[in-house]
Amino acid sequence: MLDPYNRHITYLRISVTDRCNLRCRYCMPEEGVDLMAHEDILRFEEIEQLVKLSVDNGVTKIRLTGGEPLVRKGIVELVEMIARIPGVEDLSMTTNGILLDKYASDLKKAGLKRVNISLDTMDAEKYNYITRGGDINKVFKGIDVAQKVGLEPVKINCVVRNSSDEPDALAVKEFCEANNLSIRYIHQMNLEDGTFSKVDGGDGGNCASCNRLRLTADGSFKPCLFNELGYNIKEFGQEKAFQMAIKNKPLAGTRNKSGRFNQIGG
Ligand code: SF4
């Protein structure tokens, strides 16, 4: 489906939960965040219907995000439900990798094609600091199992402050080259003041050719990450919420004062 600027919208990023098992400093404030009420979170059947609706309107690529998607109970079942929808050509997930070693094999069997895993440093102490308590060894194990079960490609999302020449980014790059992993550099973003840039090694942040919509865990179609617009299916109904998100997609991102990464899924 074309948006008002003749961009083909073929990609839907679905946040399946706003919860996470980490507290990354550039995503979650120290004091934590108010989480969505359980009853507001979309049920699997609703997500399945919304994917079918999106596919009927030209979407072919689905990415599952969060919060952390692997903390959503029954996530393997959801992957299976989405993977069997005709027209879903690409089904991927963005994860922090902490639980990946446990789920990778079942996710692959359920129809997941590939994963992006967050890793900003090779230093265990720094990782623990950035994530407020994460164990980097669990991520390494997750990467290893993901490759072994054939999730392909396994990409590494490396958040950088200013450039990919930062020592941590160079160390992650070396690790990726040694382990047949592709790396993408994501410059730290700030929703409130509208700081964002193109993903280095990916296609995010390129407004002129933006092909994506987002669906929040509580059912809002968001035309743009750096914009406050959102159309909730409970208010507008599924079809109308989708159509309004496309029709009102902005030419480019500006800022999003009310949004949170853990609710929208980056
Ligand atoms: S800021 Fe908005 S328009 Fe630009 S690439 Fe991101 S989602 Fe697309």
Task: Write out pLDDT tens, residues 76-102.
Answer: 999 999 999 999 999 999 999 999 999
The answer on pLDDT for 113 being more than 80 is yes
Tell me, using a 6 A CB cutoff, whether residue 264 lines ligand 1: no
Q: What is the pTM of this model?
A: 0.96
CATH topology of domain 11-264: TIM Barrel (3.20.20)
Q: Is 96 exposed, middle or buried (0-12, 13-18, 19+ CB in 10 A)?
A: buried
Spatial distance between the Cα atoms of 165 and 169, rounded to a whole number of angstroms: 6
pLDDT of residue 31: 79
- What tokens were used for 112? 């997941």
Tell me, using a 6 A CB cutoff, whether residue 252 lines ligand 1: yes
Q: How far is the CA of 109 from the centre of ligand 1 (A)?
A: 32
Encoded amino acid at 167, one letter: P
CA distances from 230 to 39, 179, 180, 256 (A): 19, 40, 38, 11
pLDDT of residue 150: 98
Spatial distance between the Cα atoms of 256 and 4, rounded to a whole number of angstroms: 21
Encoded amino acid at 237, one letter: G
pLDDT of residue 32: 75
At 190, which helix (H) or strand (E)?
none
pLDDT of residue 201: 84
Q: Residue 49's pLDDT band (boundaries 50, 70, 90)? A: very high
pLDDT in tens, 176-211: 999 999 999 999 999 999 999 898 888 888 999 999
Tell me, using a 6 A CB cutoff, whether residue 210 lines ligand 1: yes
What is the three-class DSSP state of 93?
A: strand
Q: In the chain, pLDDT over 70 holds for what percent of residues?
A: 100
Spatial distance between the Cα atoms of 117 and 252, rounded to a whole number of angstroms: 27
Q: How far is the CA of 71 from the centre of ligand 1 (A)?
A: 27
Q: Which residue has the tokens 């991927």?
A: 92
Mutate to test the pocket of ligand 1, among 207, 209, 255 (most ligand atoms within 8 A of CB): 207
